[in-house]
Chain A
């Protein structure tokens, strides 16, 4: 529908102020761009697609990311690993909490976008609230899961032997297609809570919240490169997500057996950790657990020489 602006409505009065404000204002539409290394570039390919909702309304022009965007994102993610995993766990916790605060502040916008993407007002509100709570949940776990999952191991020599979880590195994630905000947050949060960095491919048909979530991340003290968000088609990008030698783990959230098979095969090239979250209901308690953090952790075992006091005898 063409919007016509009447010339008269824009006439300026003698003191320089607009006389009339009644004419319908041209809307300033948001450009949905991708998020790489703390920046919002357009896709290098220059391509876009137009997701449509159930009523047939075009949601936006959304970047159709290419494998080169993914490659650039991996470079950013790799560069951010040492800084992010090297932060104090408590600081990571503070930043996740900050993300929740920022999300809370923009609740209305997320609800609005979810409603555009075929949700109802009530369901959308529930989804946003749960997403905020989920960030708080994992913010709490940042400096606690290590204690739960660490172990002091009995060994047959004079060693203090202990095992602790450590971030695996760069994780590529193909986010859930349906729960476009809650699913996205539920897969990103445990990965970064554990000190990893990630590249996420957002829901193809419902990408709006992912880009707005990137804006939340960008104003949450989260260092650039820790979370990189691409929009596009899983069918085109999935093989690159799992093929890249500089990616340490891949998470896939759909129950498509051909893609799962491809991911299993390709991950063998550098022994990626692969995880499928294809049967999880993100709205229930099964959608959150410290075990999700452990899916992208390695276990480091240390042998530290110590005196065996009990066996030392009287000379000790």
Chain B
């Protein structure tokens, strides 16, 4: 790759901007105070539903569970007319084929985690094989994890090269790079890891695996959105954003949409460029949509689990 060969073009990641923690947290909290009227709320909720990567990443996943989730993805709640499907199903590589078959020509993408998810503690060649396996099984998108240990030891080139190598292994599949912000510790490091991932070829940057607490938070997402904006300003290349883990309520999801719109603008407000990694968010959105329609607060008892 041209970028890797010319050392002058490699960004010096030690120069990534430092983050004002108090400022970021204060600004993120402001996004939660916008008033959203009912009509906008309905449109926002439908948009949220359409941005969800419906996720099951558990050791106990079976073919049946994945098929059931795929049905849920295609038919979120048949009692409601005019609601979109979710954006994608997110599974382990071994489940990609099942999901691909179950989703058929519905247009819903299959995303697969790879690279020894969630720890990322495996040699590079195994990570590449893991990625290629997922792509060959039919994954449209690959969610990789960065090597947080190497990142903390300051081996940014290692992290960069690994992402670039996985990007190459992805072929046509879009690559989402999981920073696992809960293990990075500071906003400075989140910003630096975002810069590394974007320069190395990420199509999306993603907060978390969902296996570590804290997962996605609004301030962390704001830091990453600003990194995306700076990268776009510098290179003209759009990068997608995926907060994942801990977003289970519609209200919070709408706050995220407000933040995306105010930081990046409307170009990012679609599932091509913004996703929610979530498993229980979909049902909460559906409950809110039914509430808007009927005026009655809803009960989870009347919505399918998967």
User: A residues engaging B (CB < 8 A)?
Assistant: 71, 74, 78, 240, 243-246, 269-270
Q: What are the residues of chain B within 8 A of A78 when measuring CB–CB?
A: 299
User: Whole-angstrom distance between the alpha carbons of A270 and B301 in the complex?
Assistant: 11
Q: What are the residues of chain A within 8 A of B298 when measuring CB–CB?
A: 245-246
Q: What are the residues of chain A within 8 A of B301 when measuring CB–CB?
A: 245-246
Chain A residue nearest to B300 (CB atoms) is A246
Q: What are the residues of chain B within 8 A of A245 when measuring CB–CB?
A: 296-299, 301-302
Q: What are the residues of chain B within 8 A of A270 when measuring CB–CB?
A: 299, 302
Cβ distance B81 to chain A, nearest Cβ, rounded Å: 19
Q: What are the residues of chain A within 8 A of B300 when measuring CB–CB?
A: 246
Q: What are the residues of chain A within 8 A of B299 when measuring CB–CB?
A: 78, 244-246, 270
Is B297 within 8 A of A269, CB to CB? Answer: no
Q: What are the residues of chain B within 8 A of A243 when measuring CB–CB?
A: 295-297
Q: What are the residues of chain A within 8 A of B297 when measuring CB–CB?
A: 71, 74, 240, 243-246
Cβ distance B283 to chain A, nearest Cβ, rounded Å: 13
17 example contacts (A-B, Cβ-Cβ < 8 A) are as follows: A71-B297, A240-B297, A243-B296, A244-B296, A244-B297, A245-B296, A245-B298, A245-B299, A245-B301, A246-B297, A246-B298, A246-B299, A246-B300, A246-B301, A269-B296, A270-B299, A270-B302
User: B residues engaging A (CB < 8 A)?
Assistant: 295-302
Tell me the interface secondary structure of chain A in the complex.
helix
User: Whole-angstrom distance between the alpha carbons of A245 and B295 in the complex?
Assistant: 11
Cβ distance A239 to chain B, nearest Cβ, rounded Å: 10
Number of inter-chain CB pairs below 8 Å: 24
Cβ distance B167 to chain A, nearest Cβ, rounded Å: 43
Q: What are the residues of chain B within 8 A of A74 when measuring CB–CB?
A: 297
User: Whole-angstrom distance between the alpha carbons of A245 and B297 in the complex?
Assistant: 6
Known pairs A243-B297, A245-B301 / 5 extra A-B pairs, C-beta < 8 Å:
A244-B296, A244-B297, A245-B297, A246-B298, A246-B301
Cβ distance B227 to chain A, nearest Cβ, rounded Å: 35
Chain B residue nearest to A71 (CB atoms) is B297
User: Whole-angstrom distance between the alpha carbons of A246 and B295 in the complex?
Assistant: 14
User: Whole-angstrom distance between the alpha carbons of A245 and B294 in the complex?
Assistant: 11
User: Whole-angstrom distance between the alpha carbons of A244 and B294 in the complex?
Assistant: 11
Chain B residue nearest to A245 (CB atoms) is B299
User: Whole-angstrom distance between the alpha carbons of A52 and B288 in the complex?
Assistant: 39
Cβ distance B294 to chain A, nearest Cβ, rounded Å: 9
User: Whole-angstrom distance between the alpha carbons of A174 and B226 in the complex?
Assistant: 50
* B296, B297, B302 interface centre (most CB from chain A within 10 Å): B297
Please name the 9 residue pairs, one residue from A and one from B, whose CB atoms are nearest each other, closest first.
Answer: A246-B299, A245-B299, A244-B297, A245-B298, A243-B296, A71-B297, A245-B296, A245-B297, A269-B296
User: Whole-angstrom distance between the alpha carbons of A245 and B296 in the complex?
Assistant: 7
User: Whole-angstrom distance between the alpha carbons of A245 and B299 in the complex?
Assistant: 5
Q: What are the residues of chain B within 8 A of A240 when measuring CB–CB?
A: 297
Cβ distance B219 to chain A, nearest Cβ, rounded Å: 23
Q: What are the residues of chain A within 8 A of B302 when measuring CB–CB?
A: 245, 270
User: Whole-angstrom distance between the alpha carbons of A245 and B287 in the complex?
Assistant: 11
Chain A residue nearest to B298 (CB atoms) is A245
User: Whole-angstrom distance between the alpha carbons of A240 and B301 in the complex?
Assistant: 18
User: Whole-angstrom distance between the alpha carbons of A246 and B302 in the complex?
Assistant: 9
User: Whole-angstrom distance between the alpha carbons of A71 and B302 in the complex?
Assistant: 17
User: Whole-angstrom distance between the alpha carbons of A290 and B235 in the complex?
Assistant: 74
Cβ distance B131 to chain A, nearest Cβ, rounded Å: 40
User: Whole-angstrom distance between the alpha carbons of A78 and B298 in the complex?
Assistant: 12
User: Whole-angstrom distance between the alpha carbons of A269 and B299 in the complex?
Assistant: 12
Chain B residue nearest to A269 (CB atoms) is B296
User: Whole-angstrom distance between the alpha carbons of A240 and B298 in the complex?
Assistant: 12
Chain B residue nearest to A266 (CB atoms) is B296
Cβ distance A53 to chain B, nearest Cβ, rounded Å: 35
User: Whole-angstrom distance between the alpha carbons of A270 and B295 in the complex?
Assistant: 14
User: Whole-angstrom distance between the alpha carbons of A245 and B290 in the complex?
Assistant: 11
User: Whole-angstrom distance between the alpha carbons of A74 and B297 in the complex?
Assistant: 10
Cβ distance B252 to chain A, nearest Cβ, rounded Å: 14
User: Whole-angstrom distance between the alpha carbons of A78 and B295 in the complex?
Assistant: 20
Cβ distance B92 to chain A, nearest Cβ, rounded Å: 30
Chain B residue nearest to A74 (CB atoms) is B297
User: Whole-angstrom distance between the alpha carbons of A240 and B299 in the complex?
Assistant: 14
* A78, A246, A269 interface centre (most CB from chain B within 10 Å): A246
Q: What are the residues of chain B within 8 A of A246 when measuring CB–CB?
A: 297-301
Cβ distance B79 to chain A, nearest Cβ, rounded Å: 13
Q: What are the residues of chain A within 8 A of B296 when measuring CB–CB?
A: 243-245, 269
Q: What are the residues of chain B within 8 A of A269 when measuring CB–CB?
A: 296
Chain B residue nearest to A240 (CB atoms) is B297
